[in-house]
């Protein structure tokens, strides 16, 4: 599948957009309390669910559920491992529609294109001080897709989480270095950029500390899973 763009328009190499209203982000944050813990991270800092959805204006069209697979060439931590995750609950998927639409509009996706959607909460409960969490355990990386979107839903009781894009795998001379705030989404070409987000740090040992994001990818990585089968 190829990105379908209006005549004379190509998707940008990267774009920073406002994808969620304050009200929408608050509803998503509340719903993400039910996202299950990611059993593939031993420190228990990550909650994660995934679904694949099609680009439609008339509502959420969910594709068949399937695991997540990335080659070790892209993911040195979980590469070549077929990871089973729960599907995103239908009510939460419907709340994510503004972000999905923004992602689709930036890229000019066609109605039959399929997107991988992931809901992810990182808690700052690990590290030597018990107050850290890592949004990017892989370090500087690419995901092996064409385009990625990272929409921030919430930042609760934390510092850190600067998102970087660079044209090399060492992160030298980054072209983007932004702390994304709730409602903001960065969309970028995974072919052109490596990306990384720094650790989060809890501000108060007694208080909740987490960061919620929606991750979107096109294509949906279903083909990678089929190749691994």
* Phi, psi dihedral angles at 23 (to 5 degrees): -65, -45
Least confident of 3-7, 163-167, 168-172: 3-7
Q: Which residue has the tokens 């990335």?
A: 70
What tokens does 137 get?
A: 């355990």
Predicted pLDDT at 9: 55
Q: Which residue has the tokens 């995750």?
A: 85
The domains found in the chain, sorted by start residue, are 20-228 (2.60.120.620)
Backbone φ/ψ region at 12: left (φ over 0), alpha (ψ -120 to 50), beta: beta
pLDDT in tens, 134-168: 999 999 999 999 999 999 999 999 999 999 999 99
pTM of the model: 0.92
pLDDT in tens, 59-82: 789 999 999 987 767 666 666 678
Percent of the chain beyond pLDDT 70?
90
Other C-beta atoms closer than 10 Å to the C-beta of 141 total 20
Predicted pLDDT at 228: 56
């Amino acid at each position: 599948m190829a990105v379908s763009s209006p005549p004379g328009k190509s998707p940008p190499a990267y774009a920073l957009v406002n994808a969620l209203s304050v009200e929408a982000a608050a509803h998503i944050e509340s719903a993400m309390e039910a996202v299950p813990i990611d059993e593939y991270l031993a420190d228990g800092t990550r909650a994660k669910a995934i679904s694949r959805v099609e680009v439609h204006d008339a509502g959420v069209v969910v594709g068949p559920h399937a695991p997540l697979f990335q080659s070790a060439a892209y993911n040195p931590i979980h590469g070549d491992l077929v990871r089973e995750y729960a599907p995103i609950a239908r009510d939460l998927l419907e709340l994510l529609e503004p972000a999905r639409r923004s992602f689709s509009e930036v890229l000019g996706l066609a109605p039959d294109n399929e997107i991988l959607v992931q809901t992810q909460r990182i808690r700052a409960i690990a590290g030597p001080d018990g107050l850290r969490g890592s949004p990017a355990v892989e370090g500087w990386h690419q995901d092996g897709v064409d385009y990625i979107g990272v929409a921030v839903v919430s930042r609760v009781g934390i510092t850190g989480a600067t998102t970087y894009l660079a044209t090399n795998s060492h992160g030298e001379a980054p072209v983007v270095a932004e702390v994304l705030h709730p409602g903001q989404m960065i969309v970028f070409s995974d072919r052109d950029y490596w990306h990384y987000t720094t650790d989060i740090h809890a501000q108060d040992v007694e208080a909740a500390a987490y960061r919620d994001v929606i991750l979107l990818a096109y294509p949906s990585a279903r083909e990678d899973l089929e190749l691994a089968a």
